[in-house]
Structure 1
Amino acid sequence: MDAMDVLVVGAGPAGLAVAGACARRGLATAVLDPGPDRPWTATYGMWSRELPDDLPAAVVAARAAGRAIARTEHRLGWEYAVLDVPALQSHLTAQADGVRFHTGRAVGSPQRGVVTLTDGSELRADVVIDAGGRWRPLAYSRAEVPAEQTAFGLVLDAETAAPLVSAGDALFMDWRPDHGETGWPTFLYVIPLGGGQVLVEETSLARRPGLPLSTLRRRLHARLAHHGIRAPETARSERVSFPVDQPRHDGVATVGFGAAAPLIHPASGFSVAGSLRLAPRVADAIAAHLPAGPEEALAAARDVVWSRSAQVVHRIRRIGLEALLRMPPDQIPGFFDVFFGLPEHHRWTYLTARDDVRGTLAAMGRLFGESDNRLRWHLVIPALRRRLPSNDQGPQRAETL
């Protein structure tokens, strides 16, 4: 086939969003995925304030006021939106009108503009975007032992879940150890799905390596029992596992996008909102610079995804992640009690503003100022030490820089 202007590897939300945005700007665009028509099964949520302006109302399945429980209860001050995933997929597919879809799996990019498939064939494009999710088929670097967010959830009817959340509420985090176990801390996440259904999920925010799903399943059932809830044996389950500390995408001739970039926020695991909002800007950059040449277009797209300020904020967030990974389990609820007690604008900036260096530093500074000395110590250590190899080895194995 003739070379395309843009080839996107990956047909998830990030991949379809950026492919559609490129096609609407007149760029000849193709998408490569092992199953481009495969239905999406994950649950996607975001803060309502982050919903793209052009996202149809029908794509939002439910909205709820967010709250969190650490040592005390906190109102977040903003709304949580849960997406209707089939509607989202239909919308983004319609937005990708004119995009060519190819079925196949990418295994590498041996040179700029060339993507090799498992069957030995090749696809060519001036600009290649790796939106392949956690697998990042065109990236070189990967974490040897990644820190992962893992979760096990069940879908219950709203009446059954009523002891946990009332109508119109979402429980972003509940760190109380109602599961009755000690050890690595986990929290309960409860969100409405619409249609009278609620997702209840036991979540490990981050651990290196990820906490086993069997542990999370056991804790969830114990927590539900603590609240007098018996889940039906027929309840639909959800299993979650993805890395939160992947290195920045370093494919020499490609630009990473979505979770492959990675755009995942290590403190929340969110990436879909950022991907949907960033896709038009990436497409604008490619369309504006491609007349000057593929290298210029690729560089412009990278600058949108990883501006200098975005790189700095990314580094600050990774230091925060390492702080959580090194923190003694009994300190985690206290940390989040301080965080959720911060003024709303500080919390909002840290959770959403990926290129606001000043605002992110201000939020971290306020967090440090509100913490006790023990917690301050655990916040400082990650900035002075190398990455903790594994939580199974313990912090004593980390090396000082």
Structure 2
Amino acid sequence: MVADVVVAGGGPSGWALASACARRGLAVTLVAPGHRWRATYGLWADEVSVLPPGSRWVTTRVRGGGLVLPRAYAVLDNDSVLAACAHPGIEVVRARVTALTATSAALTTGEVCHGMVFDATGARRGGAEQTAYGVVVEEQHEAVFMDWTPPPGHIDGPATFLYAVPLPDGRMLLEETCLAGAPGLGFAELRDRLHARVGEVTGPVERVRFPVDVPPPPQRGRGAVPFGAAAGLVHPATGFSVADAFRLAPAVADTIGRGRRAVRRVIWPWRARLVYRLRRRGLATLLNLTTAEHEEFFDLFFALPARHQRAYLSGRADPAGTAAAMAALFRAAPPHLRRKMTAP
């Protein structure tokens, strides 16, 4: 099986890349075991322009701490985005990969796909991870991006927050989240905290676990080119990566004819690598905060001007904006938080 591009992984990142390549006339093989996205994916409402035409989403205003955030939030209608990514130039193979090289992907079916190979199978290992336990409910609740108020009876222990967002089908996802832990909090504890916070809710369950500190791959790597979460696109302060994957996919597709090294530079230009280092500094701060300090820290962050919030949360290749946001937060922080922010 020979194609111009082989994409391993059928999540949003894999489909974003496969779709962008196919729309440029490249023959694409996408390898994925399933045909649906079961997780909940969100991005900021001012980023939805990166999605393919025909995509749908639900937009809402969300609260962070005690403030309504200046940026609206969007939750994807997965089926519509997946359908919008479809293209006749994409051959979908229902299988798992057993081995990847720069130019071949061996499958569980015994087949081997040949072409420029991209690994969009997700991130698996890291020193810090985000974990979450959520329940999809029929009842409506206030939309909340991060509510760091400790659940009743859970004052001590690692900090967690409530994430509550409306879904495109009219239901709501209520999710207790450990933003970053080494390791992240377990599902049983997160479930208990969610029920302590909102009551004994029942419905379809969503479990989340992924690393938030995957570093950029080397520019001169010799294997398959990582993309999406596998390439370290996950933001350590939110866990987001979907918008960046859809934003990057067209530029990657345009660069494929120049070879793997050029593609790797497009995914991780030097400015993005500088931002990654700054964000890792921010992650180190989060891992050092106490439960009470998490609430205080994010209340200060969400009180920053919108330009600083946008730069830190979405400016993946904006080191000046990221640094300015971090400096503004440092100036607003009391001495005990400043010590955490500068600790080695």
Q: Please give the range of the TM-score, normalised by the shorter of the 2 chains.
A: over 0.9
Matched, 1:49 2:46: yes
The structure 2 residue matched to 1:239, chosen from 190, 193, 207, is: 207
Partners in 2 of 1:179 and 1:324 — Cα distance? 22
Give CA-to-partner distance per residue, 1:275-312, whole Å, 9 cap, x none.
111111111111xxx2xxxxx42112111110000011
Q: Does 1:183 align with 2:157?
A: yes
Query: How far did 1:55 drift?
Result: 3.5
Question: 5 Å matches for 1:102-251?
Answer: 102-110=93-101, 112-118=102-108, 121-125=111-115, 127-135=116-124, 142-143=125-126, 146-159=127-140, 161=141, 165=142, 170-181=143-154, 182-225=156-199, 230-231=200-201, 233=202, 235-250=203-218, 251=221
2:20 maps to amino acid: A
C-alpha distance in 2, partners of 1:82/1:320? Answer: 25
In the alignment, structure 1 segments of 5+ residues that lack a partner are 136-141, 291-295, 385-401
Q: What is the rounded CA distance, in whole Å, between the counterparts of 2:5 and 2:122 in structure 1? A: 18
Secondary structure of 1:191 counterpart: strand
- 1:30: which partner in 2? 29
Residue 26 of structure 2: SS of its match in structure 1? coil
The alignment of Structure 1 onto Structure 2 pairs a total of residues equal to 341
Q: Percent identity?
A: 43
Matches within 5 A, 1:54-133: 55-56=52-53, 59-60=56-57, 62-69=58-65, 73-92=66-85, 94=86, 96-110=87-101, 112-118=102-108, 121-125=111-115, 127-133=116-122
Which secondary structure does the structure 1 equivalent of 2:73 belong to?
strand
Residues of 1 paired with 2:50 and 2:291: CA distance?
40
- The alignment's C-alpha RMSD in Å is 1.8
Residues 151 and 194 of structure 2 are in contact (CA less than 8 Å); yes or no, is this contact kept in structure 1? no
Mapped pair 1:302 → 2:292: no
Tell me if the contact between 2:37 and 2:79 (Cα under 8 Å) persists in the aligned partners. Answer: yes
AA partner of residue 245 (structure 2): S
Residues 10-54 of structure 1: CA distance to partner in whole angstroms, max 9, x if unpaired? 111111111111111111221122x1x432111111111001255
1:48-92 per-residue CA deviation (whole Å, 9 max, x = no partner) reads 1001255446511x21112111xxx11211111111112222221
- Output the TM-score relative to the length of structure 2: 0.93
How do 1:212-361 residues align onto structure 2 when only pairs under 5 Å count? 212-225=186-199, 230-231=200-201, 233=202, 235-250=203-218, 251-286=221-256, 290=257, 296-361=258-323
CA contact (8 A) 2:162 2:177 kept: yes
Question: Alpha carbons of 1:359 and 1:55: their partners in 2 closer, same or farther (altered >3 Å)?
Answer: same
- Shift in Å at residue 332 of structure 1? 1.2
The residue type paired with residue 44 of structure 1 is Y
Letter in 2 for 1:272: V
In structure 2, how many angstroms separate the alpha carbons of the residues matched to 1:54 and 1:348?
A: 19
SS at match of 2:232: coil
Distance 1:173 1:180 in 2: 19
Query: Does structure 2 retain, via aligned residues, the 8 Å contact 1:179–1:220?
Result: no
Once the two structures are superposed, residues 96-134 of structure 1 have per-residue CA deviations (whole angstroms, 9 ceiling, x without a partner) of: 321122233223335x31333456653221x21111112
Amino acid at match of 1:254: A
Structure showing greater Rg: 1
- Partner of 2:18 in structure 1? 19
Cα distance change, pair 131–53 in 1 and its aligned pair in 2 (3 A): closer
Asked if residue 7 in structure 1 is aligned to residue 9 in structure 2, the reply is no
